[in-house]
Amino acid sequence: MDELSSRFASGDETVFDEIVNRYSRKVYELCYRILRDREEAQDMAQEVFVRVYEKRDKFRGGSALYTWIYRIATNMCLTRLKKARVQTVPLETVEGVLEARPESAGPDYSRLEATVAKAMIDLPPRQRAVFAMRFFDKMSLKEIAEASGTSVGAVKANYHHAVKHLRNILGEGGDR
């Protein structure tokens, strides 16, 4: 466990600002990828950190702090989608989806990310969340399982179905 996680797990409330500074952008990006609405994602990211603060006594350090935060964020986003009974939200723009990418990434990679981000609209919310964590955030299957509160097998299944669906959307065929 890193020093920040250790301090948070021990109940040190002075570390909270540091946590928000370190993870706010990633949480916003995750929320945006799931909700597909900038204002909703901003609101949700704020709500996530309120929840993190409220539930700080529940963090025991059994998983990485960012994984615990991602789990809260993913669950809150999926709940919001479920309550709104919205499976997909039209994508107005993909600007901002690529903000976290380094300038060293070539234009072909950026175009690929933009194309994938547009195609993700049609994925069911759980598949969209799993795919976003794996593809954009480069999280391991184990980290995604911890973040989403499911098994590695469920993550693999959701990721497999997401990839298959995206291949069909992007015209690559789904039988690979």
8 in a structural domain: yes
The dihedral built from the CA positions of residue 156, 5, 30 and 78, taken in this order, carries a sign that is: positive
80 in a structural domain: yes
Higher pLDDT, 51 or 167: 51
> Domain of 45: which CATH number?
1.10.1740.10
Structure tokens at 20: 């928000």
142 in a structural domain: yes
Task: Give which of 157, 159, 133, 158 is closest to 147, Cα–Cα.
Answer: 133
**Number of folded domains that form the chain:** 1
For the chain, percent of residues with pLDDT exceeding 90: 34
Instruction: Please answer whether residues 67 and 143 qualify as being in contact, where contact means their C-beta atoms are separated by less than 8 angstroms.
Output: yes
Residue with tokens 């969209």: 128
176 in a structural domain: no
Cα–Cα distance measured from residue 152 to residue 104, given in angstroms and rounded to the nearest whole number: 32
114 in a structural domain: yes
Instruction: Please answer whether residues 146 and 71 qualify as being in contact, where contact means their C-beta atoms are separated by less than 8 angstroms.
Output: yes
Task: Give which of 154, 164, 144, 137 is closest to 30, Cα–Cα.
Answer: 137
- Give per-residue pLDDT as tens, 84-121: 653 333 333 233 333 334 444 455 556 667 777 777 88
pLDDT for 38 equals 92
pLDDT for 24 equals 96
174 in a structural domain: no
175 in a structural domain: no
Half-sphere exposure of 152 (CA within 13 A, CB side): 5
Residue 122 domain boundaries: 3-169
Average pLDDT over residues 62-69: 88
Strand, helix or coil at 91?
Answer: coil
pLDDT for 70 equals 92
pLDDT for 98 equals 33
Crossing angle of helices 141-148 and 65-84, rounded to 10° = 60
139 in a structural domain: yes
